[in-house]
Chain A
């Protein structure tokens, strides 16, 4: 703590010494929310340290990943570095409509969320990743609660993934069982790994799980615009959701409307921030596989990748 105080102190001195190109940022701390997955925490700390380099005070607060948009709107926290199209798009759009929050930047990284299996599943079902092949070996995925149908382990219901609609539209021999949290998904996956049981579940990228359990997404009929609304779009003429999820969803950065006036310099930097899938996976790996603390992982990543983030501060 002493160190950061020193750091921000000296950085502040630098800012005062330098000719003031921008209006000065307010001295109130910029509050950055962190959630319960590692890449988001590491990325928040990286962005926070960049702000500290500019001479700003930064604070981190843990919060729920859905309620955070309400907090940004009210100005309780300043920004959100990982707005996933699939997972948080709805909450983000709803908050934008209410006002007080806006889309500050879109990262290079693309996000994908869909049915996924670990590689050992291929032994039981060699035709994968094709969805028809998956459907043909549905019985291999049967559990006591799904009877003779295969089980697809979906994410929490509030992620609104329309898996049941997809099963219905494509006439698949599967039943969707929703897990209540991401941790529940990993627990099932870890249990399946013990005896290499075939399993198909909801997963996404970028994600630490890729590093722990190599696997692939199921290839559904490709997403086309309107597949979720217009029955004519997609292979089944009379069904909606007869397609996979978009393979390149956005990853945005959201900011509080007041941030621009209150911390113009920091805001200017924030709009330039953009990470790639590989960089985000690396951040997650430092914590989830190498066992670092997120704060330390942020430092390590920044030391190794100065060429990436230094230009954003210019």
Chain B
């Protein structure tokens, strides 16, 4: 996405070239006229008059007050939450020995490490066993066991609830067209709403603590599960259903025995997404009381302990990768059906092995306490070498960043920001309508306005413009980094795999940690904010460039080679155009990631929607938080609509 000013000019030029008066060009010309004659415009066209600002926040607060005080919704939500809490108590007792029913005390770490290692072995083999088992050994040896188990005790409860909820809603959506129609916009908004926005209502209705952490995690992780369930059920081939019907299955049997197993792959991808999203929430959910790694991380950062927080970041990444690979292996693992004639012990060989290992683990932990709990004094730490490395790196690049900071601030960021704030809102709205029309006709123009007019009406226009300016700058700079990196990585398979692993790492590494070095390099200003957003926004660009280029059919490339194209020609004239639709998904994701990150970057210091969101959270102002959240979501949804629409047209042109 570019600045509206630039786009206005392009659209205008395009219109002039074709010498037709397409509506898009006409609207763009209007927008341009508004910009050109700004000094003569009435104030009401430059900024929305105070009197026209709609008090959305007050309305939302009134609704919430009604729900809470008059309908007594809190009793219901708290009753539901107490159910979640009961489950959390059990996992808390088993995983880190919290004094709750069933009072069995913490399971020794060796037993858990052996169990997940075994799961890896059964599902894939030794390599996966080493990854999953090794992750838990790392956690124990680094002295992070209790925090990690506090985190997992919540995730272990939240994930099954998310999966069940997602399956239920997904089946309903698949069965009833009207429900899906209702569900889709809700899911779209839910997936682009910043986390802080729905954390505020959770504080009001549920309170703080592990249960709130679990509930926020469920809310955040359920949408992909719903989508994947609907997708999977829709893809089940009619032949399979017919064979089910022929064997006399009733409706329930047809669902549980035929449809769901046939949709297994998609459903397991959904479960995988649920796990990933849950881990992404670990740090943010600690703002409302989720215990464990996230809470510890924030506390360490508060005391500027980069090395120790980096260790926690590594743990979160390892957990994410281990659980991701484990659940992926599970989705690819075909259930094997051993000969029924074989003996019980033979059929359950792996189970017996596991029982043996668990008993061995318990005995070992009983004899040597180190294998039960690694005490604080026994834990290893890489904190000092990491601190030294970060310091050395900062010293090394500081001279360069000092100059870069001055250059970007003076010549790029301040002029751009002032320009964005200078634009009359009326011109911006018209320009967006013009872009919409150009890409998707009247319908897209109306959609663009439907997303942006409420932002103007909400009275947060200037803040929204600053958010947009940050995102545009960051995504533009991320394109400069990400696309060449992606092209370079796609040139051979090994490099591509390593690059994708790097992408996974950056995506799951808690962003709060690299905010600190970024501030140390650039100071508290827009350069630091943009830099932090770039790190995050580059990831999807690299990923989808690699995947897009690799997805180009080899026959097409061969055909081009045979007709004598040079490798440069193949890249720019054959592979890039074919990879473009995939790449556009990457760009879309990049904007989404940037929107998430720009909210987090409020912790550096911004003057945008994110800063106000932070204030809304600290004053538990539900209405304000949701209005700001919707503003951010609408920016994202508009970009999503435009890019996807453009990409669909493009795909149709290439007849892919």
- Contact residues of A with B, CB < 8 Å? 1-2, 4-5, 31, 33, 36-38, 41, 57, 61-68, 70-71, 74, 76-77, 91, 143-145, 153, 156-158, 177-184, 186-188, 190-191, 194, 208, 287-288, 293-294, 296
Contact = CB atoms under 8 A, between A and B. Distances in A.
B617 A64 contact: yes
A29 to B, nearest CB: 9
B301 interface: yes
Interface string B185-212: 0000000000000000001100111100
Given A63-B288, A158-B614, A184-B605, A208 B209 contact: no
Nearest to A182: B302
A156 B586 CA distance: 34
A293 B544 CA distance: 43
Contacts of A41: 299
Contact of A36 (B99, B299, B515): B299
Contacts, number: 151
Contacts of B98: 1
A69 B614 CA distance: 16
B525 interface: yes
A71 B205 CA distance: 11
Nearest to A94: B619
A77 B604 CA distance: 30
Interface string B504-518: 000000000001110
11 contacts: A36-B299, A37-B303, A38-B299, A62-B289, A64-B617, A67-B617, A68-B208, A70-B620, A180-B611, A184-B604, A191-B523
A135 B99 CA distance: 58
B519 A184 contact: yes
B538 interface: no
A228 to B, nearest CB: 20
Q: What 4 A-B pairs have minimum CB-CB distances, sorted nearest first? A: A66-B618, A187-B519, A76-B207, A180-B605
Contact of B291 (A57, A62, A158): A62
A141 to B, nearest CB: 12
B614 A144 contact: no
Interface string B441-469: 00000000000000000000000000000
Contacts of B601: 180
Contacts of A38: 299, 302-303
B302 A184 contact: no
Nearest to B600: A180
Contacts of A182: 302
Interface string B588-614: 000000000000011111100001001
B315 interface: no
Contacts of A4: 99
A187 B516 contact: yes
B208 A145 contact: no
B433 to A, nearest CB: 34
Nearest to B402: A144
Interface in B457-487: none
A208 B303 contact: yes
Most chain B CB within a 10 A radius of its CB, from A36, A66, A71, A91? A36
Given A33-B208, A64-B617, A190 B606 contact: no
B395 A70 contact: no
A157 B615 contact: yes
A37 B298 CA distance: 9
A38 B304 CA distance: 12
B244 interface: no
A74 B207 contact: yes
B95 to A, nearest CB: 11
Contacts of B286: 62
Contact of A187 (B295, B520, B525): B520
Contacts of B291: 61-62
A182 B302 CA distance: 6
B529 to A, nearest CB: 9
A5 B619 CA distance: 37
A63 B301 CA distance: 16
B474 to A, nearest CB: 16
Given A145-B526, A288-B303, 13 more contacts: A1-B96, A4-B99, A31-B209, A62-B286, A67-B203, A67-B208, A179-B605, A181-B605, A183-B304, A183-B515, A183-B603, A190-B520, A191-B521
Contact of A37 (B299, B517, B602): B299
B414 interface: yes
Contact of A188 (B288, B524, B526, B611): B524
A156 B603 CA distance: 8
Contacts of A5: 99
B519 A61 contact: no
A31 to B, nearest CB: 8
Contacts of B406: 144
B72 to A, nearest CB: 14
